Structure 1
Amino acid sequence: MALEQEFSTLRCHDDTHALVVELNRPQVRNAIDEVMVTELHQVCAELENNPRVMIITGTEVDVSGKGKRGIFASGADISQLRERRRDDALRGVNSTIFHRISALPMPVIAAIDGYALGGGLELALAADFRVATDRAVFSQPEAGLGIVAAAGALWRLKKAVGEPLAKQMILAGRTLNAQEALEYQLVAGIYPAPELMTAAMDLAGQIAALDPLAVRLSKQLFAMPDSVHPGVDNIAQAICFESAEKFARMDAFLEKRRT
């Protein structure tokens, strides 16, 4: 497939149920720079044309004196962020790619080991599901750098964990550990580091077992405002009611019930 090409900031490979995309800038703890953004756009273009589940994850980095540790993404690349001005902000470099990821036809799973900070957490928030290791750490430190969390946290984090906790994280710099993230439903599960990708693959398999059309339509419906329901739901259901997959799956269910 097209994504077998070599990227400089990503490593991609096909698994049975998903495309696995690994952030691969270990020398800067997977800081998100414009090259990574460009390459993520290429991944999105592929998945928009050939819809399937995406698992996005980090890599291991060498930590001085501590050996290798996992890291998801340490945020936007500060060396680039330092030089950006008003017109760069209005381009929405990170917010645009995170929105595109969130709008992919099939679900996105973020498999998080280690730090998911700033833009790294905003990238994770763009996913439909998040699973993590017991050493994952989550924070939005932007205000401490003189900027706002403008790539999704100001509204996605509030939806994910509720406004009181989101305000603690964004306005007062609170950091969450993995257990707290689980308690507040920021992540769906916590796993030992060696089992993280297995858990993500299992979740991708659960999604793959469902009807792709029903999953795609349901994801789109989730993103629509309350004002368009239930009319838009009826239209989506009308599409499903005419699909061959609906008849095949219901026939199989009825046959199994008869035996």
Structure 2
Amino acid sequence: MTPEYIIIHQQAQPHIAHVQLNRPKELNALNLQLMQELRDALKMLDEDENTRVIVLSGNEKAFAAGADIRQMAGKTAIDMFNTDQFSTWDAIKKIKTPMIAAVSGFALGGGCELAMLCDMIVASETARFGQPEIKIGVMPGAGGTQRLTRAVGKALAMEMVLTGRFITAAEARQAGLINSVVPQELYLQEAFRLAAVVAEMSPLAVKMAKEAVLRAFDSTLEEGLHFERKNFYLLFASDDQKEGMQAFIDKRTPVFTGK
């Protein structure tokens, strides 16, 4: 079925897919259907051998201005437990293909959490990041207290979560939340430029490297080093490792096949 709330450009550029959130009137508020459609699209692209990088965007006004409050306002705690809306987020976390968030305008609440679920973030100068859930009597529930703290540190995370203050793209860059800030007219172009660089690398090495970096947040240093070493050794079973090292010796550009 054709998704209602996202647009999929499967080969936006060679080896790069583009998924666009598409609820413009609601500033791309993340309702249950949109998140389910996004999960299904990302899983499909993750299984596509031709897709090496995924760019996720909204529009110039908003990446996503938060969760759909109207959908949640009347819920009870038991309703929320039974709905299990965060299972879609858990599935997205398991995507092996690198994901780059291209953010313009608002990335608030669930929108900020969704951007942080990606592996890198490119932002327009107009981007605003925030976790304003405290202003409506709740708190972040899709990783905002955890990923934000790991990205920017306790002091700034506490300020954003407890006051609901938005930070600018420049502040987000300085704090280490995002990778780069560019003029609004260039934010998608910059995201694709970064994606193209990653897409030139060995797909196997990229996926294993992503997995190892993420493991750093979920393990002790000793456990993380052991995991990193295991993936490093495993890549020596690949054709890409042989091609990459021989190309270096031959002083030529490697041609990676993902095998």
1:143 shift after superposition? 1.1
- Equivalent residue for 1:7? 3
The CA distance in 2 between the partners of 1:165 and 1:79, in whole Å, is 29
Counterparts in 2 of 1:151 and 1:8: CA distance versus 1, 3 Å: same
Structure 2 residue runs without a partner (length 5+):
253-259
Counterparts in 2 of 1:92 and 1:54: CA distance versus 1, 3 Å: farther
Aligned to 2:102, what secondary structure does the other structure show? Answer: strand
> Structure 1: which 4+ aligned runs deviate by more than 4 Å?
91-94
Q: Aligned AA for 2:55?
A: I
1:24-80 Cα deviation digits (max 9, x unpaired) = 1011111111110110121122033225311111124xxxxxxxxx21111001100
- Equivalent residue for 1:52? 52
Pair 1:35 & 2:33 matched = yes
- Equivalent residue for 1:256? 251
Q: Aligned AA for 1:115?
A: F
Q: Aligned AA for 1:252?
A: A
TM-score, normalization: structure 1? 0.88
Aligned to 1:106, what secondary structure does the other structure show? Answer: coil
Query: Which stretch shows the higher mean deviation, 124-133 or 81-90?
Result: 81-90
1:171 shift after superposition? 0.9
1:88-103 aligned at under 5 Å gives the runs: 88-90=79-81, 93-103=84-94
Pair 1:113 & 2:111 matched = no
Instruction: Please tell me whether the aligned partners of residues 21 and 55 of structure 1 are also in contact (alpha carbons under 8 angstroms).
Output: yes
Query: Which stretch shows the higher mean deviation, 248-257 or 33-42?
Result: 248-257
Instruction: Please tell me whether the aligned partners of residues 47 and 104 of structure 1 are also in contact (alpha carbons under 8 angstroms).
Output: no
1:94 shift after superposition? 4.7
The CA distance in 2 between the partners of 1:92 and 1:157, in whole Å, is 25
1:84 shift after superposition? 2.3
Counterparts in 2 of 1:161 and 1:91: CA distance versus 1, 3 Å: farther
Aligned to 1:98, what secondary structure does the other structure show? Answer: helix
The CA distance in 1 between the partners of 2:153 and 2:84, in whole Å, is 26
1:100-139 Cα deviation digits (max 9, x unpaired) = 3233112111100001111110111101100111111111
Counterparts in 2 of 1:6 and 1:182: CA distance versus 1, 3 Å: same
The CA distance in 2 between the partners of 1:29 and 1:152, in whole Å, is 21
Aligned to 1:72, what secondary structure does the other structure show? Answer: strand
Structure 1 residue runs without a partner (length 5+):
61-69
The CA distance in 1 between the partners of 2:83 and 2:248, in whole Å, is 47
Instruction: Please tell me whether the aligned partners of residues 110 and 127 of structure 1 are also in contact (alpha carbons under 8 angstroms).
Output: yes
Count of aligned residue pairs for this structure pair: 244
- Equivalent residue for 1:222? 213
1:81 shift after superposition? 1.5
Pair 1:20 & 2:15 matched = no
1:166-189 Cα deviation digits (max 9, x unpaired) = 000001222101111111121111
